[in-house]
Amino acid sequence: MTAWAGIVKGHQSSKQHAAQATLRWFVLGASAWLIAGMGTALVGDGLRFEHYVFLTQDAPVAAVLIAFLALLRWQTGKPGLPPAMRHWQICLIIAAIMAIAWTGHYSIMSGYALSRDEALGRMTAAALAKGQLAMPVPPEWRAYADAMSPDFLNPMGGDRYWLPLYLPGSAAIEALVSKCADPALTQPLLLGFGLLMLWDVSRLLFPDRPDARAVVMLLAFSSSQLLFTAMTAYAMTAHFALNMVWLALFLRDRPATHAAALLVGFVALSLHKVQFHILFAGPILATLLWRRRWVLGAVYAGGYAFFLLVWMKVYPLLLIDRLDLDIAASAARGVSLSPRLASLQPLLYVTRFFAWNNALLLPLALIGARSIVHALRQDAQDRRTLLFMGLAGGCAVGLLLTVHQGLGWGYRYLHGYIGAFCLLAGLGWTRLYRSPASLRPIWLAVLVSVVIIAVQGVMIARFVAPYARIEAHAAAMPVDILLVDIRGGAFAQDIVRVSPGMVRRPILLDLSRLDEKQLNSLCRNYRIGLIDRADFRRAGMMADESRPDARHIARMRAHLNDIRCVKQTAASRSRDGASL
């Protein structure tokens, strides 16, 4: 008996050493990956935005995390006592994170929806709150609808409605919240709900390992991507939350919970674009075929096929019918499955995902994914192992499809997978320590994350503040129309937007979307102001001279000078002192 115990102990020790060797190899691989990413960012024709954020935000943080992993010393044997996180502690931490996310929307994000995606989401939410499927364009402004909100609009709306390319699920959730609370509470509430569901799933998957459950939750709690994205209006927090709800229901494996999971899947498909939930749920549902659950697999397949039909075909037809729109060949353009594979940039965006999460998330998840292969050799029908295989498959697909995302805090296209990565990391922890162990390495990583989150918060605030200052100053200008010359400012085109719920003056118009006839009409009837690169510089916006329509804008500026149209400029004194 003693000899057999010694053999088992030695076998477990060898597996522990193998897992720790994987961590060391991860440091070498991550270092090479970071160097290769820096090479692609520094070598080439010009410095694009994604290169800029990689070099100024991601690479420095990734280097710190890699150094931490290289210096981290792992415990051996059975160190410490099994930790336990109680329900009330989890709820208290989640409540604190929700409060930080809500206050951060105003203190860090300046209460400003930075990106076009966020602005359109807020616009759609305001329309839905009024019982409208889309925000109507006032008849007197239909000739200028494109210049008032120029990007990411479905052409099916024409000049009568501002109809985003995106599906309405996330905006509908915000509309519901806005009926009884601050709309900015939507994402923090979703984050808290998603974290609660992640805790529930971890209890189902690690019933005898309180330390693994704690690892899962601590990695999620210390994710700067989860925290900062919940300060925005992006739909990605809803993807994280509903994916975790769906997984908790699927795992319970009862007819009622599978029916509920299908309903959650129907909503999850509508949040933004259908592919995000499909790529999460698809690999997990594929394990039903491996387990020969033919009937259940057919129910899910049929259900999701019907849901896709609803959101990709029936929903556009509903818009056409209710809004009396013209049928266009591109009517369903906004819900297509095009993955933009031409813009794959894994060296930059995998690094970004690594830098905006806990240092141990990816290496522990890698250990967990590797262990699945060995577990399948022992029992290819084990339900828990197959579930982890589905999670690993989804994470792998997400990492392979790291396409260009534009703005975002962390790599937001992987946002819905963060819970899956945390669960795989919990599995990896159980391979490092075959019995409950002290969380000293995890707590050290959390401490590092807290410091980095503080630094990243400052970086975000410095990036967002200039745009918020521009918006505040523009809103206080004593003019009717404010033309925006978008040359010279990074994402200056996103300044042009329509206030959620109604068109307010001054109305911002993108100068690149106007012609001489339109300018003549505006100048005859309204007081005209102008914002250009000089104002961007005073506000502190990052410069960007890569405008393909710069010549057209120059011609429009020359025409404005010829007709002596602009009576007020953004440099003028504003009514409430919000000058730049």
Q: Which pLDDT belongs to residue 7? A: 30
Q: Average pLDDT, whole number, for the chain?
A: 88
The share of the chain scoring above pLDDT 70, in percent, equals: 89
**Which segment of 25-29, 78-82, 210-214, 359-363 scores lowest on mean pLDDT?**
78-82
Residue 87: CB atoms within 10 Å: 10
pLDDT in tens, 339-392: 566 678 999 999 999 999 999 999 999 999 998 987 877 776 778 899 999 999
Reply yes or no on whether the pLDDT at 332 is more than 60: no
Predicted local confidence at residue 324, as pLDDT: 87
What's the confidence (pLDDT) of residue 380? 66
> Within 10 Å of residue 538's Cβ, how many Cβ atoms?
16
55 bridge partner residues: none
**Residue in 188, 227, 212, 236 with CA at minimum distance from that of residue 356:** 227
Q: What is the pLDDT of residues 411-468, one digit of tens each?
A: 999 999 999 999 999 999 999 888 888 899 999 999 999 999 999 999 999 999 999 9
3-state secondary structure (DSSP) of residue 135:
strand
Dihedral pair phi/psi, residue 530, rounded to 5°: -145, 140
Pull the structure tokens for residue 552.
């057209």
CB contact set of 348 (below 8 Å; sequence gap of 6+): 37, 40, 41, 50, 51, 54, 58, 402
Is the pLDDT at 281 greater than 60, yes or no? yes
Choice between 91 and 490, residue whose per-residue pLDDT is larger? 91
Contacts for 558 with CB less than 8 Å, ≥ 6 apart = none
pLDDT tens, 127-148? 999 999 999 999 999 999 999 9
Q: What is the mean pLDDT of residues 259-263?
A: 98
Q: How far is CA 108 from CA 3, 113, 342, 474, 510, in A?
A: 60, 12, 33, 20, 27
Give the pLDDT mean for 331-344: 56
pLDDT computed for residue 76 by the predictor: 62
What's phi and psi for 340, nearest 5 deg?
55, 50
571-580 pLDDT, tens digit each:
434 333 333 3
